Amino acid sequence: MGFWLDIVVAAPAHSGITGPLTYESKSALSPGQLVRVPLGRREVLGVVWGLRSDAGSLSPGQSKSVLDVLEGLPALSANWQALIGFTANYYQRSVGEVALAALPPQLRELDALGLARRLKKAASSPLAPETMAQADRPALSAQQAQALELFEDTRRPALLFGATGSGKTEVYLRAAEELLQERPQAQVLMMVPEINLTPQLETRLRDRFAGLGPGAVVALHSGLTPAQRLKSWLAAHTGQARLILGTRMAVLASLPQLQLIVVDEEHDPSYKQQEGARYSARDLAVYRAHLESRSVADKAAGCRVMLGSATPSLETWQACLKGRYLRLDMPLRIGASGVGEGPEVRVLDMSKQAKGALLAPPLMQAIAERVSRGEQSLVFLNRRGYAPVLACHACGWKSQCPHCSAYRVFHKVDRSLRCHHCGYTEPVPRGCPDCGNVDITPVGRGTEQLEEQVAHLLSDLKRPDGSPVRVLRIDADSARGKGVLQARLAQVHAGHTDVLVGTQMVTKGHDFRHITLVAAVNPDSSLYSSDFRAPERLFALLMQAAGRAGRQAQHSATAQMWVQTFHPQHPLFDALRRHDYAGFAQEELHSRQSAGLPPFSHAALLRAEAASQELAQDFLRAAAQAAAQQVLPGADRVQLYPAVPMPLQRLANVERAQMLIESASRPALQQFMSAWQPVLAQLSSQHAFKRLMRWALDVDPLSI
């Protein structure tokens, strides 16, 4: 007698395979088991989702059979299945697509024999007793101790609202330490927004939790090799790993004993996936903690979640105001005698400086003073390359990318023009390609030019030991290659750099102990952007950057943040001077409420990609018309806006358009999109849209 199973396999939502497929098995397999099954002409990995409820209506041979069962691996838990199901439903993707994407790529290629070999190789000695290394545990400040006490007493999601330098990381570590000591099988997930923040924190975690034994601390992110990623995932899935450090992908990992989730820098946009299932890892962390807690009888043994930030997202801030989240305040930086204030913020009016000046003389004087005292400065400009555009002023030619609606950036270091969107690169032409004029010039400034100018302006200055000033640039270009970023950061930490020049990748998460001055060169582009989240992101960036200055107690009193701007009277800079995130958030929330923007409304984007902009927009208009004609559920509470080109209209020769869907009711929006999905799939299969490349729904988009 055979058994019929529901099994999910990897398939995009618009492929027509939206749910589990039916396969026949000789044995009754448990939900969550991994199997190899045929799919078309391929053999793929699948996850058993359950037994068919209507198996009596099927007969032998009616379905394809399971080819292989991956024995020796514990089944994926019911909570993991529930998390995957919620993610797929909420973000409008297929269950199989989300489930298989959450598994390591190498696991998807293994058969039962290959998995057995991996499990044998991954086996290690039993973990040491659950004792912690007590070395290097700094004494808690009063506000740290209070935050921990309040967190222990709550079951609600908690926001650790702490100023940069207030010791949020130590609170995370103490919360994890107490949990792992109390419960020998418990697991902790600690998330950071970017891969480049993991090495420093991973070293700290391994030192701090060495008493847990080998393999108890693992990293899980896309920067690992396939073999490393599989090894970490297996350690987490089997419970051998007690503390998992990861980026957004880690929120979907199998963690059967998960009891604490920490989301550091929860405001960071990197937590939102931008391809495939466009999920928010921060939001899923909150939901996962709810799922894990709901499944245990003892609520004290449930899973808790702590979100941390000095500049929380406005959605999280609003949740605190409404009482859904508990706010834990740590407003003061840790200083020599207890606590210290944040760095002094100085706003420079660039309209009063020499025309075309990249760095104002008062700022350069302040940097020179730091160098002479043996201190470090950080100067950041969120634009890499030498100049964003190369132009001919004779005929108007500009370095437009032939494949994108964007300019290629001039990189002086290798004399190239490079598109930062599609990667198209070619050497700088000897003359204008249109008119032959040899006088083509860079327009605008990037980090390469900033590094060059800083080095030139400080060339006559000497360090306290008499050696020349050392300027170092860290951005996506200079930090390419394995280990390069870590080596450059080590130079800064060791004091071998006087001025660090970089993009926003060096303004958050790094504990630079000798930087006493931070300067933002050109932040004005975000002040009046069409993106309604731009001011929120700019304020967060500047506050995070300011937090790099004066992190060592003896420098906190003299630490400064300089901002060069042509709009010094803008309210954002006034709030920045006062380090007043609460005041800034209140004004932003008031503006968004007046405009009906998130978090006071809920939105999604239907995106289409095609060979022509006309075809992409035609599909979106046809989708809106079909929704109106079929009177879909929830449509009366949903607003569809006209189709428009995306901000980056053409990318790698693909034209892109989007349509905004908005509603004051989240359930109504979800109901409408669920009913709309099959309509969109049917529409895209019509002859008129056969040249349509793809379409996708983006729920809770970062920008509208």
pLDDT of residue 56: 56
Domain of residue 398 covers: 387-444
- Please give the pLDDT value at position 128: 42
Q: Cα angle vertex 230, ends 227, 231, to 5°? A: 85
| CB neighbour list of residue 66: distance below 8 Å, 6 or more residues apart | 5, 7, 23, 24, 25, 26, 29, 35, 36, 37
Query: pLDDT digit string (tens) for 271-304?
Result: 999 988 999 999 999 999 999 998 776 666 789 9
Is residue 36 one of the residues assigned to a domain? yes
Average pLDDT estimate for 483-504: 92
Q: pTM of this prediction?
A: 0.93
Q: In whole angstroms, what is the distance from residue 175 CA to residue 145 CA?
A: 11
Same domain, 450 and 507: yes
| Residues whose CB is less than 8 angstroms from the CB of residue 417 and which lie 6 or more positions away in sequence, other chains included | 390, 399, 408, 409, 410, 411, 425, 426, 427, 428
Among 412, 444, 476, which residue terminates a domain? 444
Q: How confident is the model at residue 129 (pLDDT cuts 50, 70, 90)?
A: very low
What gap in Å lies between CA 86 and CA 89, rounded to an integer?
Answer: 5
Q: What's the pLDDT tens digit per position in 306-335?
A: 999 999 999 999 999 999 999 999 998 876
- The answer, yes or no, to whether residue 399 has pLDDT greater than 50, is yes
pLDDT value of residue 72:
86
Separation CA 31–CA 697 (nearest Å): 29
CATH number at residue 227: 3.40.50.300
Mean pLDDT estimate for the chain:
91
Confidence of residue 337 (pLDDT cuts 50, 70, 90): very low
Domain C-terminal end among 418, 444, 470: 444
Same domain, 257 and 225: yes
Are 479 and 472 within 8 A, CB to CB?
no
Per the structure block, which two tokens stand in for 689? Answer: 């849209």
What's the pLDDT score for residue 1? 53
- Crossing angle of helices 112-122 and 226-237, in 10° steps, is 80
The pLDDT score that the predictor gives to residue 297 is 66
Q: Is residue 224 domain-shared with residue 281, that is, in the same domain?
A: yes
pLDDT mean over 517-523? 93
Confidence (pLDDT) at 525: 83
> Residue 263's pLDDT is what?
98
Cis peptide leading into residue 104 (ω within 30°): no
The pLDDT > 90 percentage for the chain reads: 74
Is 653 among the domain residues?
yes
User: What gap in Å lies between CA 639 and CA 45, rounded to an integer?
Assistant: 40
Claim to verify: residue 437 and residue 478 sit in the same structural domain: no
CA-CA distance, 254 to 108, in Å (whole number)? Answer: 15
The mean per-residue pLDDT over the stretch 114-129 comes to 67
Q: What is the pLDDT of residues 428-444, one digit of tens each?
A: 999 999 999 999 999 99
d(CA 434, CA 140): 66
CA–CA dist 186, 592 (Å, integer): 41
DSSP codes joined into one string, 61-111? TSSPBP-EE-TTSPPPPHHHHHHHHHHHHHTT--HHHHHHHTS-HHHHH--
pLDDT tens sequence across 131-165: 444 446 889 999 999 999 999 999 999 999 999 88
Residue 128 lies in a domain: no
For residue 383 the two structure tokens come to 């634009």
The pLDDT assigned to 585 comes to 97
Kindly state whether residue 704 falls inside one of the protein's structural domains: no
**Residue at 131 is within a domain:** no
104 and 24 inside one domain: yes
Over 60: is that where the pLDDT of 241 sits?
yes
pLDDT tens track for 614-629: 999 999 999 999 999 9
- 650 pLDDT above the threshold of 60: yes
User: Are 533 and 660 members of one domain?
Assistant: no
**Amino acid, single-letter form, for residue 319:** A
pLDDT: which is higher, 90 or 528 = 90
pLDDT of residue 200: 83
Q: Is pLDDT at 130 greater than 70 in this prediction?
A: no
Q: Give the residue carrying structure tokens 């419960």.
A: 183
**In a shared domain, residues 153 and 257:** yes
Specify the pLDDT at position 136.
Answer: 64
**Of 535, 494, 524, which Cα lies nearest the Cα of 703?**
535
Provide mean pLDDT across the span 563-571: 95
Both tokens assigned to 415: 């004399």
90 and 19 within one domain:
yes
Q: What is the CATH number of the domain that holds 671?
A: 3.30.70.260
d(CA 622, CA 687): 13
Q: What is the mean pLDDT of residues 21-34?
A: 92
Domain annotation covers residue 135: no
Separation of alpha carbons 7 and 29, rounded Å: 11
Check which CATH number belongs to the domain holding 94 and give it.
3.40.1440.60
Among 334, 366, 399, residue at a domain's last position: 334
Asked if residue 519 belongs to a domain, the reply is yes
Residue 104 has pLDDT above 60, yes or no: yes
Residues 186 and 260 in one domain: yes
Nearest to 579, CA basis, from 544, 617, 626: 544
- Alpha carbon distance 410, 428 (integer Å): 8
Residues 412 and 477 occupy one common structural domain: no
Average pLDDT over residues 579-597: 95
pLDDT digits (tens, 9 = 90+) for 675-703: 999 999 999 999 999 999 999 999 999 98
Q: How many domains does the chain have?
A: 5
Question: CA-to-CA distance for 615 and 87, rounded, in angstroms?
Answer: 30
pLDDT of residue 300: 67
Q: Give exposure, 373-395, as e/b (b: 16+ Cβ within 10 Å).
A: eebbbbbbbbbbbbbbbbbbeee
Residue 17 in this model has a pLDDT that exceeds 80: no
Checking if the pLDDT of 59 tops 50, the result is yes
Examine the domain organization and report whether 270 and 231 are in the same domain. Answer: yes
Q: Which of 6-20, 146-160, 363-377 has the lowest mean pLDDT?
A: 6-20
CA–CA distance from 319 to each of 158, 191, 257, 544 (Å)? 10, 20, 27, 22
For residue 420, is pLDDT > 50?
Answer: yes
3-state SS, one letter per residue, for 288-326: HHHHHHHCCCCHHHCCEEEEEECCCCHHHHHHHHCCCCE
Is 424 part of any domain?
yes
Tokens representing residue 337 in the block:
């005698």
Residues 352 and 474 in one domain: yes
Q: Residue 122 pLDDT more than 90? A: no
pLDDT value of position 181 = 92
Token pair for 452: 């060059």
CB 377 within 8 A of CB 519: yes
Q: Do 607 and 646 form a contact (C-beta atoms < 8 A)?
A: yes
What pLDDT band is residue 119 in, cutting at 50, 70 and 90?
confident
